Structure 1
Amino acid sequence: MKIPSLISLYFTLSLAPLLAVPVEVSVESAVELASRASVELYGQKLAVESAQRDLGNSWNLFLPGISMGLSAKTGDKFLAPAILGNSGPGFGSTLSLGTKLTLTSGVLYDLEKQRTSLRSALLEERDLKARLARDVQKAYFQLVSLQLELENKAKAIVLAEERRRLADLRFARGLGSELDALRAQMSELNARSAHKKAVSDYDKRQTAFRRQLGLAAGDQLRLTTALEVPAVQPADVIATLIDTRIDLAKASLARKIAAVATAKFINLNRLPLVTLDAGWSFSLADFKTSRDNFSISASLSFNADAWIPGSRKDLELLALRETEDRLARSHEQIRRSALDEVEALRLDLEFARNSLELASGQISLSERIAARTREAWERGAATALELEDAQYAVDSAKQTLIASQYQYLSLLIDLGYALNTDWKTLYK
């Protein structure tokens, strides 16, 4: 291979990451990618599948135990035949087969335990998915807001360069002071420094976001969902959605588990325990002599001490009932806390909406002030410091608007999570 070809190949490989096509990611696809990459969610899916298998094969709770065995032995005389005679143990074998089925009234509670385990695993999976979607959506829109800030800071550099050139020109022609020229140079340096810091922050956030989505380190992202705030307030659906919260569903399931535990203790201790046994066994000795046996039995038993006040079993039952009462109170407390949380989010949304409207008005007003100040500066009726302050006010207003938009969307996402629904459905 020729040297020029090697050089061309080297430059092609070195520029390949820069020429790579960016990965287009919407907020919906970001949630999907993060769900696929989440190890925690994958582990929970395995737990759900395990619980589904256990419940789907619950028939094995009624499966009888089966045992099989084969034994063989051999022997010979140890003492002389003259002393013990001529008979010896020889060779012997035994084949056995047996089965036994035991059923108690407690097997129904084992079946209920499997159902509860599946419901618990499904609730945990829903919670993981909801929290993952919330975190990914907030991280996504934060990246979008940082992109907008980068664009504004890049525009600020262009304006600072132009103002610095004009200040240098005015100073060279004797129309401006050296102090104005130096201030313009300092403003340009500050604008470039702010842009570099914003680029560094954006790169770090993007790296963390890429890792969260399971993408390669060299992949460049192009975020396609804009930072847009709905024009209206979300619908008042708190009363209809508050009881769909996952934490309330978990609390309800905990109450049900406690109630089942109490009922199981009563049925297995205070009430008669029904036990059914059925068994059959077969044996074949030396492949000649066979024997088999079949039996069926039923029994009733209960713990009499469970009815004695102050006994150990009576105290255990009292503790189970106290647990039921505690979980019922806890459920009500969780519901009240949920209502308070959602109401606080609603108030924060109203405040964020007002801040958003105020920031929009500030941008319009600050841009008009900056334009008039620039005209006055060009006529010599305003100082460079006044022009710098006016431009700084515009930049601050834009940053405030971007921050207000992100804050509003972040609160909306939190509200959707608090109501166990997609935040976009709050406007439908």
Structure 2
Amino acid sequence: MKTLHYLYALLFLSCCAISTIQAAEITVTLPEAIEMARKNNINLQSSAIDLKGAQRDVDTAWNIFLPSVNATLSNSGSAVVFQDNPIIKAGTNGNNGISAGLSVQFQLNPALKNQLDSHGLNYSIQQVSYQQAISEVERNVTKLFYYLLAETTNLELQEKNIALAEKQYGKALVNFESGYASEIEVLSAQLSVEQLRPSLQQSENAYEGQLLAFKVLLGLPLEAEVAVEGELPDVELSTSVNDLKKNIETTYSMDLMRLNREAMQNSMALQKKVDLMPSLMLQAQYGLNLWNSSTKDRFNEIFSDSATYTVSVSIPLDGHIPGSRTQVSLAKIEDNLAKLELNRQQTKVQLEQSIITQVNTLQNLKDQMQVAKANLELAQRVYQMYLTQYEAGYTDNLTVEDAQQDVFSVEQQIVYLHYQYASALVDLAYDLQIDIEQL
């Protein structure tokens, strides 16, 4: 009985320990978040499977040189059904015995090299696609991480603003009780406090929603407690537009365009060689018959065998006819190649346009941030002056509240401008497939 109690106690303590571990908050930095996403993100795991399959195709490409081998085993017999003549019955009734056979067939054509090349090209495409998927996940994780940092600062500013408003309300209440303030000033101060709470609640809801998306990217349970630790980067764009454009040709998008074009050209060459050029066919068969009771030869009744071979050359002719299915199929591939080239040119122009737009956006954000920092210094000075006048009885509480709100608005603007600038840098670095530090 005591043993049973000990088991229950041990089970209870284990559950408590597990609950404590699950409830513990996980604090992650940006490098840790990216590493977790690389290991746990479902989309990356799916891309990794595609890459593994392409690697397997390359490693086993030699199997195209394996011949087709088939083994057969059969038994047959015959019997007269409606004929009563015993002589005819004797000549036709019987078991034809057991037949076994082995056939080997191998075809050689000039397209074998293109078949091998197709596996290598497909592997290269999957490699670039996998690297692009990693880069996309890293970008999404980084942007969400920066958002959570900025929103954390915003929540702290709002809480600080509410605490300051409550302090102002407390002062107004004391002055009212002492006869130095009117009731409308007290009510106004109380209203200012209450008007700030919905905005805080809305920001908290937005933070929780983005935090859930962050957990999904990292592959963490939705119920896990996660906090981010770090700072928004202070990197500024220092590279010119012309220098940034030089990275376009090395982006994943352009690499995929180039590899897809090579794969399509290889596919076209392969089809030409298969459908328009001769191929050599090698065939060999071996047959073995056992226990054939329908023959009069005693030796053949027990055993007989045969071996045959065939060497043939197949020359396709219909593919050379204008308008044939082969010619139409090749024409479609040429059309797709032309469309792919147009898409490549369009993608390049779109990347150039995106670079110019993003550089202009970054410059605009930088200018706005400089103005906001100057406004913050001015707003803080105005607030301190009004606060001093209010404490001396030269101005009312509403003026102080307005000045306080101006300071908060500018602080909040700086936080969001800093986040938008960092986010725009991440997008630009992703489009060009370079590090933020290289910008």
TM-score, shorter chain, exceeding 0.5: yes
Letter in 2 for 1:253: L
Residues in 1 aligned to 2:362 and 2:114: alpha-carbon distance in whole angstroms: 47
Amino acid at match of 2:438: L
Report the CA distance between 1:305 and its aligned residue: 4.0
For 1:379-418, list aligned pairs within 5 A.
379-418=392-431
Matched residue, 1:126: 131
Amino acid in structure 1 at the alignment position of 2:114: Y
1:75-86 equivalences under 5 Å are: 82-84=86-88
What amino acid sits opposite 1:366 in the alignment? A
Given residue 372 of structure 1, which amino acid in structure 2 is its aligned partner? M
- The CA distance in 1 between the partners of 2:200 and 2:220, in whole Å, is 26
1:218-242 C-alpha deviation (Å, 9 max, x unpaired): 3222211212322x43434414321
In 2, the alpha carbon distance for the partners of 1:112 and 1:183 equals: 78
Which residue is equivalent to 2:280? Answer: 276
Answer whether contact 2:286 2:308 (CA < 8 A) is retained: yes
Deviations 1:187-231 (A, max 9, x none): 12223333333223222322332233222233222211212322x
1:176: Cα distance to partner?
A: 1.7
C-alpha distance in 2, partners of 1:85/1:257? 66
Match of 1:349 in 2: 362
Alpha-carbon distance change, 141 to 289 in structure 1, aligned in 2, over 3 angstroms: same
Q: TM-score, normalised by structure 2?
A: 0.85
Pairing partner for 1:183 from 154, 177, 188: 188
Q: Any residues of structure 2 matched to 1:112-261 within 5 Å, and which?
A: 112-230=117-235, 232-236=236-240, 237-261=243-267
Q: 1:67/1:422 Cα in 2 relative to 1: closer, same or farther (>3 Å)? A: same
Q: Which segments of 5 or more consecutive residues in structure 1 lack a partner in the other structure?
A: none
Amino acid at match of 1:334: T
2:246 aligned counterpart, secondary structure: helix
What are the Cα deviations for residues 242-266 of structure 1, in whole angstroms up to 9, with x where unaligned? 1122221222223223333443454
* Aligned residue in 1 for 2:294: none
- Which blocks of at least 5 consecutive residues in structure 2 are unaligned? 3-8, 291-301
1:105 counterpart (102, 110, 113): 110
* Correspondence for 2:438: 426
Give 2:65's aligned residue: 62
Residue of structure 2 equivalent to 1:50 = 53
Report deviation, 1:95: 1.4
Distance 1:18 1:375 in 2: 51
Equivalent of residue 291 in structure 1, options 303, 306, 313: 306
8 Å CA contact 2:115–2:270 kept in 1: the answer is no
In structure 2, relative to structure 1, the CA distance for the partners of 1:314 and 1:94 (3 Å cut) is closer
Render the CA deviation track for 1:118-137: whole Å, top value 9, x for unaligned. 22222322222222221221
Instruction: Confirm or deny that 1:36 pairs with 2:39.
Output: yes
User: Residue 375 of structure 2: which of 343, 347, 362 is its match?
Assistant: 362
Cα separation, 2, equivalents of 1:314 and 1:193: 69
Identity %: 22
CA distance in 1, matches of 2:134, 2:384: 49
**For the residues of structure 2 that align with 1:123 and 1:223, how far apart are their CA atoms?**
30
Equivalent residue number for residue 299 of structure 2: none
Number of residue pairs matched by the alignment: 413
Q: Which amino acid aligns with 1:293?
A: T
Flag the 1:70–1:85 CA change in 2: closer, same or farther, 3 A. closer
Distance 2:238 2:269 in 1: 44
Deviations 1:43-72 (A, max 9, x none): 222111112111211111111000111222
Q: List aligned pairs for 1:13-24, cutoff 5 A.
A: 20-24=23-27
CA deviation map 1:126-175 (0-9, x unaligned): 22222222122111111111111111111112211211111111111111
State the shift of 1:301 in Å.
4.1
- Kindly state the Cα deviation for residue 411 of structure 1 after the two structures are TM-superposed: 0.1
Question: Does the 8 Å contact 2:25/2:224 carry over to 1?
Answer: yes
Query: Which amino acid counterpart does residue 414 of structure 2 have in structure 1?
Result: L
Q: Distance in 2 between matches of 1:17 and 1:167?
A: 45
Q: CA deviation at 1:267?
A: 4.0
Please state how far the C-alpha of 1:402 moved relative to its aligned partner.
0.6
Counterpart secondary structure, 1:69: strand
| Counterparts of 2:223 and 2:114, CA distance in 1 | 54
For 2:22 and 2:164, the matched residues in 1 are separated by 30
Amino acid at match of 1:337: Q
RMSD: 3.0
Q: Give a deviation string over 1:260-304, Cα, whole Å, max 9, x none.
A: 3443454455x5x12111121111111621211223333444447
Q: 1:210 to 1:315 in 2, by over 3 A?
A: closer
Q: CA deviation at 1:418?
A: 0.7
SS, match of residue 107 in structure 2: strand
User: Does structure 2 conserve the Cα–Cα contact (< 8 Å) formed by 1:356 and 1:401?
Assistant: yes
**For 2:253 and 2:260, how far apart are their aligned partners in 1?**
10
Structure 1 residues 295 and 311, CA gap change in structure 2 (3 angstroms): closer
Contact 2:22 2:224 in 1 (8 A): no
